[in-house]
A = this chain, B = another copy of it.
Amino acid sequence: MTIKRIDTNPRMSQAVVHNDTVYLAGQVGNAGDSVPAQTETILGHIDRLLAEVGSDKSRILQAIIWLDDMKDFAAMNEVWDAWVSPGNAPARACGEAKLATPEYLVEIIVIAAVD
């Protein structure tokens, strides 16, 4: 067994690699930004964290998306769809959930392959 952690603090790690699978912390954008801007920031965080562990968006297995308000579904999807690796889209689910602060409008939780 190997477990490797990235950006660990007393509450959470931003990424945890177990053998050939990586689990990312729920990624958020910048409070106060629009839904498209928060989504762009989140996807940038995901790209960066996956790169740090030797993976990339073509190897995402599962993505769970939380929206503060489902009215933002189309706005989030427009950014998401443009970002997804063509032919390599992950299993995905999207539900409405209030997040840590009311200014966070989107959160994305990813599991990806590393090997």
Residues in chain A within 8 A of chain B (CB atoms): 1, 3, 5, 8-16, 18-21, 23-26, 59, 61-64, 66, 70, 73, 77, 80-81, 84, 86-100, 107, 109, 111, 113, 115
Q: Are B96 and A98 in contact (CB under 8 A)?
A: yes
Question: In the complex, what's the smallest C-beta–C-beta distance from A106 to chain B, in angstroms?
Answer: 11
Q: Are B94 and A13 in contact (CB under 8 A)?
A: no
Question: In the complex, what's the smallest C-beta–C-beta distance from A2 to chain B, in angstroms?
Answer: 9
Closest to A25 in B: B91
> What chain B residues lie within 8 Å of A10 (beta carbons)?
81, 84, 86, 89
Instruction: Say whether, besides A18-B61, A61-B18, A70-B99, A94 and B26 are in contact (CB < 8 Å).
Output: yes
Q: Are B1 and A91 in contact (CB under 8 A)?
A: no
> What chain B residues lie within 8 Å of A59 (beta carbons)?
3
> What chain B residues lie within 8 Å of A13 (beta carbons)?
89-92
> What chain B residues lie within 8 Å of A97 (beta carbons)?
66, 95-97
The one of B1, B25, B64, B91 in contact with A113, judged by C-beta atoms closer than 8 angstroms, is B1
